[in-house]
Amino acid sequence: MGRAAATITRDSAETLNLQPGDAATALIKSSHVILALP
């Protein structure tokens, strides 16, 4: 599996008890995704 980065609210991180560096699984549902290179 690859890696992805996401931004979530502090409230969501606290609710999930997430700490920097923790592994997590994300379910992404979208009609389209736009990717851009730096």
Query: Could you tell me the pLDDT band of residue 23, with boundaries at 50, 70 and 90?
Result: confident
Q: Among candidates 20, 19, 28, which has minimal Cα distance to 1?
A: 28
For residue 8, what pLDDT is reported?
87
pLDDT of residue 1: 65
User: What value does the mean pLDDT take over residues 1-14?
Assistant: 85
- The tokens 């736009």 sit on which residue? 34
Q: Which residue has the higher pLDDT, 26 or 16?
A: 16
Residue (of 36, 38, 6) closest to 24 by Cα position: 6
pTM (predicted TM-score)? 0.52
Query: Residue 14: is its pLDDT beyond 90?
Result: yes
CB 1 within 8 A of CB 24: no
